[in-house]
């Protein structure tokens, strides 16, 4: 871990359309550490919209490829949208 990550209260890594919560010191009911979220950027690049949880692709195990070819399930990203559980309440996470 980097020294800056040790000091931070919240440490996020952002890739193209994917955000990973590397470290969140304070949380209430749900531990978001090491979770991955997909998002869209709108309003001229100033708003995160459609923030949704992602999981590693079950077909390629997060590699994005199967036997050297792009994974059909995740289109080479290695992640797919997490299916929502109808018995749990999802939080609205637009910022």
Q: What is the pLDDT of residue 52?
A: 93
User: Where are the domains positioned within the chain?
Assistant: 3-81
Q: What is the pLDDT of residue 37?
A: 95
Q: What are the Cα distances from residue 57, in Å, to 6, 52, 75?
A: 30, 15, 10
* 74 CB-contact burial (10 Å; exposed 0-12 / middle 13-18 / buried 19+): buried
Structure confidence at residue 73 (pLDDT): 93
Q: Give every CB contact of residue 75 below 8 A, 6+ residues apart in sequence.
A: none
Contact 61, 79 (CB under 8 A): no
Residue 88 vs residue 3, higher pLDDT? 3
Tell me the pLDDT band of 16, cut-offs 50, 70 and 90. Answer: confident
Question: For the residues 4-31, what does the mean pLDDT come to?
Answer: 88
Residue-wise pLDDT for 44-93, tens only, equals 888 989 999 999 999 999 999 999 999 999 999 999 999 876 665 555 55
With vertex at residue 40, the alpha carbon angle to CA 94 and CA 85, rounded to the nearest 5 degrees, is 60
């Amino acid at each position: 871990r980097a020294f800056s990550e040790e000091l931070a209260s919240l440490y996020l890594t952002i890739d193209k359309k994917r955000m990973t919560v590397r470290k969140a010191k304070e949380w209430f009911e749900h531990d978001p550490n090491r979770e991955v979220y997909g998002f869209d950027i709108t309003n001229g690049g100033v708003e995160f919209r459609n923030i949704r949880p992602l999981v590693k692709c079950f077909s390629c195990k997060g590699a994005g490829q199967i036997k050297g070819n792009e994974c059909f399930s995740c289109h080479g990203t290695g992640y797919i949208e997490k299916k929502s559980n109808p018995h749990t309440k999802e939080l609205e996470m637009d910022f």
